[in-house]
Amino acid sequence: MSLTAASRVVIVGGTSGIGLAVAQAAAATGAQVVVGSRSEKSVKQALAVLPENATGHPVDVTDQASIAAFFDQLGTFDHLAYTAGDDLVRGLISEYDPEQAHRFFDVRLFRALDTVRLALPHMNPAGSITLTAGAAALHGGAGKLLGSTIGGAVITAARSLAAELAPIRVNAVAPGIVRTPLWSGLPEQARPEFFEMAAKGTLLGRVAEPEDVGQAFVALMAQDYLTGNLTVVDGGSVLR
């Protein structure tokens, strides 16, 4: 079933990068879109670039009361996309810090599952949930230990949830490297070289733009017979 003006799509982490692109792609279908993230300022900035069929509210997924209040004010909705993610951690096993690793898993996996739990009472049973994994889960790589491990866990979580929650459909998107503010932690001078190197690791010769990934989320929402599915949006980097 395609998204229509009657569809309601909620994007947790929808104020930047991939989530904002999901919001843009969903809003372009005419669907009613709700974005949420921690900062009131980010919500306002996102709404300034989204069309009028978008609204937004602050939500901090590390606070259960905040997630519950976010969903309570929305009423029933059809599709949930979870794209929240905080600072990136890259490093080798020799640099492994269990507490840092726990923090890195927290928003990307543990809070994603909590968000799903708290969203369910508000969801249309004919709707869908889409989680964010990462293509690193499929090929691993030195320095990608935590990112690849979380991605693998999210892929598996989506499959288990698909089995448990049917007829609600649950899928995951695994992006390769996407040009988003997530990489703003890299020194500004190092970023062009990083994206250039990453582009060489794809079959298509470029890194993903957020829109490439946003469209994949919306395709999963719109396709009624896809559940337990993984959509890899990596420009073919897994095959290099």
Ligand X SMILES: NC(=O)c1ccc[n+]([C@@H]2O[C@H](COP(=O)([O-])OP(=O)(O)OC[C@H]3O[C@@H](n4cnc5c(N)ncnc54)[C@H](OP(=O)(O)O)[C@@H]3O)[C@@H](O)[C@H]2O)c1
* Contact footprint for ligand X (CB under 6 A): 13, 15-19, 37-39, 42, 59-62, 83-86, 107-108, 132, 134, 175, 177-178, 180-182
- Cβ proximity to ligand X: between 95 and 209 the closer is 209
- Cβ proximity to ligand X: between 127 and 176 the closer is 176
Q: Report the C-alpha gap between 138 and 148 in whole angstroms.
A: 7
- Cβ proximity to ligand X: between 14 and 127 the closer is 14
Structural contact between residues 219 and 231, judged by C-beta atoms closer than 8 angstroms? yes
Q: Report the C-alpha gap between 219 and 9 in whole angstroms.
A: 13
Q: Report the C-alpha gap between 26 and 31 in whole angstroms.
A: 6
- Cβ proximity to ligand X: between 32 and 83 the closer is 83
CB of 183 to ligand X, least distance (A): 6
Walk across the sheet containing 32-37 and list its strands: 54-58, 32-37, 8-12, 77-82, 123-132, 169-175, 230-233
CB of 150 to ligand X, least distance (A): 8
- Cβ proximity to ligand X: between 97 and 209 the closer is 209
Q: Report the C-alpha gap between 197 and 135 in whole angstroms.
A: 16
CB of 181 to ligand X, least distance (A): 4
Q: Report the C-alpha gap between 21 and 27 in whole angstroms.
A: 10
If you ran DSSP here, which 8-state letter would residue 15 be given?
A: T
CB of 5 to ligand X, least distance (A): 25
CB of 133 to ligand X, least distance (A): 7
| Secondary structure of residue 8 in the 3-state scheme | strand
